[in-house]
Every structure is written in C-alpha cells, then in structure tokens.
Amino acid sequence: MGLKGTKYLVTAAMAVTVAAGACALNIGVTPGTLCDRLPEIETTADDVLTLTGAVNVTDMALLCRMSPAVRTLDLSTLFIAPYEYDDTGYMDRLKFEVYELVPNMLAGTEVTRVVLPPYNLTIGVQAFALSKIEEIEIPASVSGVGDYAFAGCENLKKVTFAGLPAKLGKGMFRNCTNLQTVDFKQGLNHVPEGTFYGCTTLQAMPAGVETIGAEAFRNSGITVADLRGVTEVGAYAFADAGRLTTVLSDGPVRIGDGAFAGDAALEDLPELTEDAGQAMAAASGNALTRWLKSPIIGEAAFANNKNITEVKLGSKVREIKAHAFRNDSGIQAVNVAALGETVPVLDPDAFSGLEAEDGTYPIDLLVGEQHVDKWKEAEVWKKFNIRGTSAVDQVREPDYDVDIRREGETVTVTGAGPFDNVRVSGVSGVTYYDGGKGQTVITVTVPANEIAVVCARQGDRIKIVKLR
C-alpha cells in the first residue's frame, strides 16, 4: 500500500496503557517532518512517546536521538510509508520498497518497551541492539527480522512472535543474557545461525524445530536439547552450553563439527546419520556416561576429553575412525558388551596418545564372556586388556532412551521421560514390581540369586532387558 490516498487511522484499542504517574508526549507527523520535532523528542522528560500519523524511513532513523527519559515508544497507530531516494550513486542505497524499522533504529537507547504497528513491515539489522528493551510482541504482520536485531539487549526477558516471519536473520538474540522465553505461536522450523548465542538464561528450545543453524544455542542456558523431529544440527550449535545434560532424539541426526563441544554436564548423544559420523560432535568436556548410538564414531569425535572414564559402544557401532578418543587420559575401560561378537573396525590411531611403551593399551576391554576369544583375535582390539564380563545389567540398548542397570540386589530403571509402565520379574516367575506410571526413576530390590527381567514401556516403545 502506497502513501498516496492513504488515511492514517488511530485505533484506540491499540493505544499503549500509560502507568499511573507517567507522562506522555504525543506527536502527530507526516512523512519527512519528524526532524522538525526533533528538539521535542531529544529533550522531553516524558516516559511515553507516542507517534501518530505517518513517517518514512528517514524519520525512523532519528528515533535513536530521543531523550533517555523515554521508556515506552508507542508506534501502534503509526504508518511507515515506503521511501525512495531519487539520487544516484552511493545514496541510491537508500531505496526502501517495504515498510521497515530501519537498521539501528533504537540501538543503544534507554527504551524498555516498544509497541509495533499491526501491518506488514520488516525489522532492520540491529534495530533494537544494545537497547534496554525488556519485553516485546512481534505482530503476525511482521514479515522479516534482520540480523542481530536484538543483540546485546541484556534486559530483554520475553519475546512473543504472534506469527512466523518469512525471514529471520542470524544472531537475533545474541548475548541477551536475561532472555528466558521466546514464544513462536506458530512454531519455528529453522533456528538461524547464532540465534540464541550467549543466552545464558534461556529456559527451552522453541517448538517444532527441524533444522538448527551453526552456533544457534552456543553458550546458552538450556538444559535439554530436544532433537525429536530435528534432521540437522549445525557446527557448534550447542557448544559450551554448560547446563546441558540431556539430548532427546527419535532418529538419526546429521550433526556438524563441535556441535556439543565443551558441554561438561552432557552424558549422552543422539544417534547420528552415518554420513555425519560424530566428527567433532562432542570434542572436549563431555561426561558421556551412556552408550554411543551411531554406526560411525567419526575422526577426532571425542578427542582431548578428560571427563570420559568409560567408553560404552552401543549395538549399532560398526566403525571407529582415527583419533576418535585421542588423549582421553581418563579412560579406564571400553565396554563392548552390547556388541556381542560383532567387532567394529577400529582405526589403529583411534586411541592415540593412550598407548603404553610396548604399544598396548592399559585399558580394560569389557567383553561378553562367551565372546572373549573372538575379540582376542581382532586386529587392534587385541592390544587392550580383554576381560570377560557377565555384567548384562550394564548393557543399555541405544534405540530407546532408558537406562536399566543392576548393582547387587538393586535394580534401577531411569527414563528421560515418564514411563507408562515398568514391570520387574524374575525368571522364577515372581513379580517384584509392576507399575510406575508417570515416574522417571524406579528402584526395585531383587534377590541376588535371581535373574531379573525388566520390561519398560513409554508409549509404543518397549525395552526388555535381562539382568544377572
């Protein structure tokens, strides 16, 4: 819609509520005239500045000069007209064919609240960056948000997107250290590069995500990476997320280098696509107490990780590439009980830096008792201290995110989410436990001389494990 013939309507319902005791300055303008009112907006002592009528982008660029006394900027009834600079050459870049909140419009200002107009517009690059804004609702009519639009807004706590803009720029909320919630009412299928980088207070990922860009949640505060429905995760997407403990997934995920690097509290990784392997997926700093799920453990996947004490290879592992566990000096054992007699291809340098002087590895290789001879014949693997084990209770089937283990007479069943049912019985036919709906951790006592059978069910997923 062009400017010519347009009436600028004032809708009372859209007006911002002014707190008791606050003072408001109302300015009515036409395109190109805001500069004439500049002395007022630079010196006003009022808390609320309301603009009515119409402006163009040259007017909007002046708003960064408003008085620091202004805390609320009400644009709810303002029309932003398209603007075209008629000159040629360098200034030709000032052609705006859309309704735009111009780049850096409120960058560094003291404004804590902005009410946007309810019609089609875009938010320019760094439009609100480094401002004191605390909360904002993005109308469904907003069609695009520029790069770093809210970057460095340390007071920003909540953002609501009534719709899903067609274009979202990178680094939108970078280093918004107090950001707790970003609510996309229509979901968000792609998280752009660096969107939540440095959002150390962020509580959860948006819903409906399918792909995640590079560094999207790097150094964020999320505790659970919900990758159910996600097919691709960019490089360093969750790196240095110190509170991240859990990764949920429902299928293979293509993952970029360093996606979980430096996540010291992380104990598990999702199953990855074979072409992705786990190339630098974890890198240093992971706890990794659970079974690795991917067919391929990529080159340098867990190199320089001092936190790993036991490597647990799940039943799907078929190849471990060079330097996968290089210099992981804390490793005391490699548990391959879940593999049975299936011996994965092991690169001679997969555990580089951990060799003894004679070329062997002072690391226990825990193998099912009936398969010891098979592993002793395998190249490279025979360099480990191979030990037979009957510790079936240590085998965690990687397809189902539930951990079942036994220590003496105590059987513990732990799920990432609530169970529908857990049944613990003995081969003798005795039922020791049957229930657990809604619980995530169940502990049952089973006599030491009894072989226990555990059946855990979550929805249509069932896991049955026999524990000696």
Residues 6 or more apart whose Cβ sits within 8 Å of residue 4:
none
pLDDT at 375 over 70: yes
- Give the pTM: 0.71
pLDDT in tens, 23-76: 889 999 999 899 999 999 999 999 999 999 998 888 888 998 999 999 999 999
pLDDT in tens, 88-105: 454 444 555 557 888 999
Which range (118-122, 351-355, 364-368, 462-466) has the least confidence?
462-466
* CB of 419 closer than 8 Å to CB of 437: yes
CA 457: distance to chain centroid?
27
In terms of Cβ atoms closer than 10 Å to its own Cβ (0-12, 13-18, 19+), residue 372 is middle
From the list 184, 236, 235, the residue with the least C-alpha distance to 205 is 184
Q: Which two tokens stand for residue 245?
A: 């403990």
DSSP 313: B
**Distance (Å) of CA 88 to CA 31, 57, 59:** 21, 18, 21
pLDDT at 200 over 90: yes
Residues 6 or more apart whose Cβ sits within 8 Å of residue 103:
124, 125, 126, 127, 146
Of residues 196 and 307, which shows the higher confidence score? Answer: 196
Q: Which two tokens stand for residue 166?
A: 């067609």
What is the topology classification, in CATH, of domain 400-467? Immunoglobulin-like (2.60.40)
The confidence score (pLDDT) of residue 15 equals: 42
- Domain ranges, ordered by start, for the chain: 400-467
The confidence score (pLDDT) of residue 280 equals: 45
pLDDT at 322 over 80: yes
Q: What strands, in cross-sheet order, belong to the sheet with 441-445?
A: 402-407, 410-415, 441-445
From the list 299, 230, 304, the residue with the least C-alpha distance to 261 is 304
pLDDT in tens, 396-448: 444 456 888 888 899 999 887 889 899 998 877 788 999 999 998 999 999 98
Instruction: Look at phi and psi of residue 248 and say left if phi exceeds 0, alpha if psi is from -120 to 50, else beta.
Output: beta
The confidence score (pLDDT) of residue 12 equals: 30
Give the Cα separation of 248 and 226 in Å (integer). 5
pLDDT at 150 over 50: yes
Q: Taking residues 237-255, report their average pLDDT.
A: 84
- Counts of helices then strands in the chain (DSSP H, E): 3, 32
Burial state string for 11-41 with b = 16 or more CB within 10 A and e = fewer than 16 = eeeeebeeeeeeebbebebebeebeebeeeb
pLDDT at 312 over 50: yes
Question: What amino acid is encoded at 313 in this protein?
Answer: L
From the list 279, 244, 276, the residue with the least C-alpha distance to 262 is 244
Which range (64-78, 111-125, 310-324) has the least confidence?
310-324
pLDDT at 325 over 50: yes
Q: Which two tokens stand for residue 48?
A: 């609320």
pLDDT at 6 over 60: no
Residue 281 pLDDT grade (very low, low, confident, very high; cuts 50, 70, 90): very low
Residue 7 pLDDT grade (very low, low, confident, very high; cuts 50, 70, 90): very low
Mean model confidence pLDDT for the chain? 84
